[in-house]
Amino acid sequence: MIIAIDGPAASGKGTLGKRLSEHFGFAHLDTGLLYRAVARVMLDREIDLADRDAAHQVALNLDVTDLDDPRLRGAQMGEAASVISGYQPVRDALLAFQRQFAAQPPGAVLDGRDIGTVVCPDADVKLFITAASEERARRRHLELQKRGERIVFETILEDIRRRDERDMNRSSAPLKPAADAIILDTTHLDADAAFQAALDLVRAKSGRA
């Protein structure tokens, strides 16, 4: 069974993906970490993020053990990942890994931007998680504060709106709900309520308890 979860930055899809995977005993992959890892390698090597060929080569040789690097969760990596994720060769290089991950038994939960539309178009359940940009910025602000990062709310809100614009209008796998995705707006839901709503949707769609 494959559960595909898509949505914009800080919509809560990663938290939902992790909790759903734990509930069903499935593997979980935050696919955004793959792009953040590519961005981290490029920044560490002082490679210009605009260098598409270099980004492609890094993606081809990505060491997935680097996905646990705590730096990947920072605001800088999120913005950098949004840039390189628009490069089709990078997406192609990471596609096989994502599909192989999704195929493992007894099931997998993948969250990202194009899981239901490109990576796993035949997923058993497709959810598109969204929330107002101001609420997403508030959540990200709290998350970064807990990590000790000091950044003003307005900067985060501007960053989220810029990433939304870039992700939704890129030529390669733009952010959008799959035609058969179920849309869940979490603007007014806390983490537990959002999880329960998502769980109910998965149960109704798949028949799983």
Quick one: tokens of 4? 């595909």
Cβ atoms 140, 15 nearer than 8 A? no
Cβ atoms 113, 129 nearer than 8 A? no
CA pair distance 184, 15, nearest whole angstrom: 14
Residue 206 annotated as lining a ligand binding site: no
CA pair distance 43, 159, nearest whole angstrom: 19
DSSP 45: T
Residue 81 annotated as lining a ligand binding site: no
Alpha helices in the chain (DSSP H): 13-24, 32-44, 52-60, 75-84, 88-102, 133-146, 153-169, 191-206
Residue 8 annotated as lining a ligand binding site: yes
Residue 102 annotated as lining a ligand binding site: no
In sequence order, the β-bridge partners of residue 115 are none
Residue 126 annotated as lining a ligand binding site: no
Task: Count CB neighbours of 76 within 10 A.
Answer: 15
Residue 78 annotated as lining a ligand binding site: no
Residue 106 annotated as lining a ligand binding site: no
CA pair distance 2, 63, nearest whole angstrom: 24
Residue 25 annotated as lining a ligand binding site: no
Residue 13 annotated as lining a ligand binding site: yes
User: Residues comprising the binding site?
Assistant: 7-15
Annotated binding site for ATP: 7-15
